[in-house]
């Protein structure tokens, strides 16, 4: 039995399902990644329901058993199909996600009462680009999906990221004559926004609906981790306001000056991390990402904006 698969089975036996899924995710590609992410989503929902006390103990146990079996079935399928690199014999030593690796925290939120975005596809494209990159061992991609406000601080504490990437809906103070079209990463404005909100991002509440987080709260969070994070990417509409607020605490911040189409946002993110994976710096990666939008014939190449903190 390959050593790496033995490690994963040992984690499952120890009830360390999240760690087992993280290791599988690091070796998956293509459709295999989608299967792993689907199981991760099921586990996240179950953990959330347990924290909130909205699920009976017996039912939680049954769901936990189903998820465990789903992971084991997935491993068996990979082995039966002659598997991806996950079935190769590898030493039991830690993977190249070492202390000097750049940790990229990918935060995604697509509330059920907002327009649908292809955030899973964006994550897939970023992961595939880093996986094939020349300097792939220098990066560790850590995804958090269906993010709630409390998850922001928990992820910052648990993962100690160097780059924080948010994908989802953004918002700004709404003018009476403004409306957003379909297929953009901004909220559908079918309700009044509280006067206190001058710009921010849309996360999820416990029911999966929109929970607005304003720019000043985001800036305050990054202020607590000043010196750790080198770059924040806000791949959401109208995120320039948030970027300006965060810049006082982070060397580089990328925001969007207006509404950005979903396909354009994905092309930008893919180009940006392709360049980082090739060993280029953040300004070069930003310019290549904007050029990627143009190369793919998509609108909005001028929408992303790179802000640099003054020395």
DSSP at 289: H
**Which pLDDT band holds residue 23 (cuts at 50, 70, 90)?**
confident
User: Which of 309, 300, 302, 307 lies closest to 243 in space, CA to CA?
Assistant: 307
- The answer to whether 197 and 214 are in contact (CB under 8 A) is yes
DSSP at 67: H
- The Cα-based distances of 26 to 6, 95, 101, 135 in angstroms read 16, 9, 14, 15
Angle value at C-alpha 113, between 155 and 33, nearest 5 degrees: 50
Hey, what domains does the chain have and what are their CATH numbers?
3-86 (no CATH), 102-308 (3.40.50.1460)
pLDDT tens string 259-294? 899 999 999 999 999 999 999 999 999 999 999 999
Instruction: Return d(Cα 276, Cα 163) in angstroms, integer.
Output: 11
pLDDT averaged over every residue in the chain? 84
What are the two backbone dihedrals, phi and then psi, of residue 117, each rounded to the nearest 5 degrees? Answer: -120, 155
Share of the chain above pLDDT 90, in %: 52
pLDDT tens string 225-247? 999 999 999 999 888 888 999 99
- The answer to whether 243 and 271 are in contact (CB under 8 A) is no
């Amino acid at each position: 039995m390959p050593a790496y698969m033995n490690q994963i089975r040992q984690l499952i036996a120890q009830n360390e399902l999240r760690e087992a899924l993280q290791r599988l995710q690091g070796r998956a590609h293509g459709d295999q990644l989608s299967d792993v992410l689907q199981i991760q989503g099921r586990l996240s929902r179950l953990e959330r329901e347990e924290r909130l006390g909205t699920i009976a103990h017996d039912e939680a146990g049954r769901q936990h058993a189903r998820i465990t079996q789903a992971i084991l079935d997935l491993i068996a399928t990979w082995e039966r199909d002659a598997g991806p690199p996950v079935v190769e014999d590898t030493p039991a030593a830690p993977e190249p996600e070492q202390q000097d690796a750049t940790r990229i925290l990918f935060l995604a939120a697509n509330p059920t009462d907002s327009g649908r975005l292809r955030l899973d596809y964006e994550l897939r494209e970023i992961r595939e680009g880093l996986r094939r990159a020349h300097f792939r061992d220098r990066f560790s991609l850590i995804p958090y999906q269906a993010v709630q406000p409390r998850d922001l601080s928990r992820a910052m504490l648990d993962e100690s990221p160097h780059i924080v990437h948010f994908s989802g809906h953004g918002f700004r103070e709404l003018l009476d004559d403004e409306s957003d079209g379909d297929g953009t990463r901004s909220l559908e404005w079918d309700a009044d926004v509280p006067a206190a909100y001058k710009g921010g991002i849309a996360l999820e509440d416990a029911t999966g609906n929109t929970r607005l987080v304003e720019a000043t709260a985001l800036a305050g969070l990054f202020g607590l981790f000043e010196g750790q994070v080198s770059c924040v990417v806000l791949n959401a509409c109208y995120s320039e306001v948030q970027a300006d607020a965060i810049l006082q605490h982070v060397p580089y911040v990328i925001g969007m000056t207006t509404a950005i189409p979903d396909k354009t946002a994905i092309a930008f993110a893919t180009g940006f991390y392709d360049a980082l994976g090739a060993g280029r710096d953040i300004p070069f990666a930003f310019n290549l990402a904007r050029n990627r939008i143009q190369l793919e014939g998509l609108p909005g190449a001028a929408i992303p904006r790179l802000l640099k903190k003054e020395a």
